[in-house]
Structure 1
Amino acid sequence: MRKGIDRLDRKILRALQDDGRLSNLQLAEHVSLSPTATAERLKRLTRDGYILGYQACLSPEKLDRGMLVYVEVKLDRTTPDVFESFAAAVRRSADVMECHMVAGGFDYLVKARVQGMETYRAFLSDVILSLPGVRETHTYPVMEEIKNTDKLPV
């Protein structure tokens, strides 16, 4: 068990992961605490960095971003300046949902959502291949999303 949070804190975190729009009163009822005690715990969990923020989950399909792709990226040089310029360029792209530097046979794994294959081709040439230091890419279009969650086990 992680130091600093107890069973009730975990119950609060699980409830908020299921429904981030719970009012303090609803949350208090859910965890069997007073609204004041619940609000204090929530403040502490936020202050201590357990809760990073709140957001709405949007439908990629309804917003014309139904195609999910993963792209392996190899850089031509693995130097600090290339890493920094690549990271800065990725942060500017609205199509990139996630980008992770990884250990192994390539340097970065990029997750992107686009409208379809034609849009992806433009994204690949205009965004990915134009990023600083890109030598090679491998793309994996997702055929079916089996599990997609941001929920952490608490």
Structure 2
Amino acid sequence: MDDLDRKILRALQADGRQTIQELSEKVGLSPSPCLRRVRNLERAGVIAGYAAIVDHEAYGLPVTVFLQVKLSPHTEEIVAAFEQAVARIDEIMECYLLAGDRDYLLKVVVASLADYETFMRRRVHKLPGIASLDSSFAFGEIKRSTVLPG
């Protein structure tokens, strides 16, 4: 991947709906080679897909919670069961495996605090291997970007 590929990727991350003509003008390349590069980036898995970025508040899910999870015991079976279960829960938007005191960080969106309580009681408390949980509520969003640096 060279600087031109990175320029194409930054432009697509900023606006994935632009035409190849518009993209080629932004990156200083004619349309055919630009399209070829985009297709190569798709085939290589650098471009994993295209999606609409939906404002979760406007969608009706204004509450964002960061949930830190510690598992016990750390057996292969417990870890696999936890990760598979998390992957099936729609309210969990992101899940990261951590180094440190906690094992996972989950980003959760819900409509209200009451919905979060229900989510915790009906979904999270039933996950395998939970040793401890720590919820942090986001008061506001300072920055969210879909464009990678560089």
TM-score by length of 2: 0.96
Amino acid at match of 2:100: G
Q: Please list, as runs of the form range in 1=range in 2, the aligned pairs for 1:136-151 lying within 5 A after superposition.
A: 136-151=132-147
Q: From 55, 60, 63, give the equivalent of 1:59.
A: 55
Alignment partners' CA distance in 2, 1:133 and 1:59: 33
The equivalent residue for 2:93 is 97
Does the 8 Å contact 2:41/2:47 carry over to 1?
Answer: yes
Alignment partners' CA distance in 2, 1:8 and 1:74: 42
Alignment partners' CA distance in 1, 2:104 and 2:123: 14
Amino acid at match of 1:47: R
Q: Say which SS state the counterpart of residue 146 (structure 1) adopts.
A: coil
Alignment partners' CA distance in 2, 1:7 and 1:110: 33
The equivalent residue for 2:114 is 118
Q: Please list, as runs of the form range in 1=range in 2, the aligned pairs for 1:63-82 lying within 5 A after superposition.
A: 63-82=59-78
Q: Please list, as runs of the form range in 1=range in 2, the aligned pairs for 1:17-28 lying within 5 A after superposition.
A: 17-28=13-24
Alignment partners' CA distance in 2, 1:59 and 1:10: 26
Alignment partners' CA distance in 1, 2:110 and 2:82: 20
The equivalent residue for 2:105 is 109
Deviation for aligned residue 1:150: 2.7
Deviation for aligned residue 1:30: 1.2
Amino acid at match of 2:80: E
Alignment partners' CA distance in 2, 1:131 and 1:69: 17
The reply to whether residue 32 of structure 1 matches residue 28 of structure 2 is yes
Amino acid at match of 1:119: D
Percent of counterpart pairs with the same letter? Answer: 39
The equivalent residue for 1:135 is 131
Does the 8 Å contact 2:4/2:27 carry over to 1?
Answer: yes
Cα offsets for 1:91-120 (capped at 9, x unmatched): 110000011111111111111000011001
Amino acid at match of 1:81: E
Q: Say which SS state the counterpart of residue 132 (structure 1) adopts.
A: coil
Cα offsets for 1:55-84 (capped at 9, x unmatched): 001011121111000011111211100000
TM-score by length of 1: 0.93
